[in-house]
Amino acid sequence: MGFADTLKEEMKTRNFSIYAQWTGILCILICLAVGISNFFYLFKPIIILFAIFCIVSAFIIIFLEIPLLLRICPTSPKFDTFIRKFETNFMRAAIYLAMSIIQWLSLLSGRATSLVAAAVFLLIAAGFYALAGVKKQSFQGSKALGGAGVAQMII
């Protein structure tokens, strides 16, 4: 079974945690892209601060959504413990919501930037995780991202 078949099969499950996880992967790309692009606001240091947090959010999401990386990347025990706090759908919804709110706060700088795109997608991921929690769906990691057997060993 190929990657496309696995993805297609997972989308049919109607498990919102799968949708959230794939939205999280999209958030990684968006946060990195808009974070880097907002470094060019040289006369708005507050925007640069939000851009840095956006990039940091991307790295947090990488370890959150691809748990295999906790095994193969050298991280501190404190960081591993922090990431493992977000095992449930509601906890994941909370961290995504917090990251989204921080990016929405970038609007207080008086200038709308592409950081709003990150805020929107982080909010969508939070919504999917919250829906999974409300529907009492268990967290189900994507098989394509190592969620079937490998992720369960790590968590």
CA–CA separation, 95 vs 130, rounded Å?
Answer: 11
Report residue 25's pLDDT band, with 50, 70 and 90 as the boundaries. Answer: very high
Got the DSSP string for 12-75?
TT--HHHHHHHHHHHHHHHHHHHHHHGGG-TT-HHHHHHHHHHHHHHHHHHHHH-THHHHHS--
The pLDDT value recorded for residue 109 is 87
* Domain boundaries of the chain, sorted by first residue: 23-61+82-139
pLDDT per residue as tens digits for the range 136-149: 887 766 666 655 54
Q: Which two tokens stand for residue 46?
A: 């507050």
Q: Which residues neighbour 142 within 8 Å (Cβ) at sequence distance 6 or greater?
A: 6, 7, 10, 18, 21, 22
Report residue 150's pLDDT band, with 50, 70 and 90 as the boundaries. Answer: very low
Residue 1 pLDDT greater than 50, yes or no = yes
Lowest mean pLDDT among 86-90, 142-146, 149-153: 149-153
Report residue 14's pLDDT band, with 50, 70 and 90 as the boundaries. Answer: confident
Q: What is the mean pLDDT of the chain?
A: 85
